[in-house]
Structure 1
């Protein structure tokens, strides 16, 4: 009998959508420092167990991985990438507002705001 288990995200990549790259580029322009990168982290907490964190950073640490799209760099640490492997960083604008969103195949549940998840 063939194995019918669903595949688990094992690729240690973070995909940055075109929309997210454009928004990050715009925000970096407003900050006035072209050396900035968007740092995406995962930490314990939030209403679902883990929460996403976003901030600008100009430093790449020894345990960081850098993902690039259209000249924009998104950096995350090795531990956060364990929970982000195969995820997509997107920027969405709709009638309810605009926000960065993470489409994370490792999340088994997430809260209503989308800023925290369970793995």
Structure 2
């Protein structure tokens, strides 16, 4: 099942493909939303082998991201990006549903 309501930037796809290729037995990055964090919800990133039957699968340039059906509700319309700047390297989610976020960049409110 593929759902393009969440997209990957070119830089995120490149980084995910690089990370997955260096991790034996892993073939996807799982992005999920959990309760908690400074603003109410937070993103979680895990490398996974395989998928669940109800996962939403996003693929670009050799990178695969899987998102569970509950998390996709909070992430619809988002773009997953990878930023490499003076402050460091990190995945960032540009989420149009977030009405507030905190300085850590991984916590948000809807």
**In structure 1, distance between residues paired with 2:4 and 2:90:** 24
RMSD: 1.4
| Equivalent residue number for residue 96 of structure 2 | 105
| Equivalent residue number for residue 95 of structure 1 | 86
**In structure 2, distance between residues paired with 1:109 and 1:63:** 29
Structure 1 unaligned blocks of 5 or more = 1-10
Q: State the SS of the aligned residue for 1:92.
A: strand
Offset of residue 12 of structure 1:
6.4
Q: How many residues align?
A: 108
Structure 2 unaligned blocks of 5 or more = none
Q: State the SS of the aligned residue for 1:31.
A: coil
| Equivalent residue number for residue 6 of structure 1 | none
TM-score of the two chains, using structure 1 as the length reference:
0.86
Q: State the SS of the aligned residue for 1:107.
A: coil
* Divergent runs of 4+, >2 A: none
Question: Highest Rg: 1 or 2?
Answer: 1
2:45 counterpart of 1:54 = yes
**Aligned partners of 2:82 and 2:92 also within 8 Å:** yes
2:36 counterpart of 1:45 = yes
| Equivalent residue number for residue 22 of structure 2 | 30
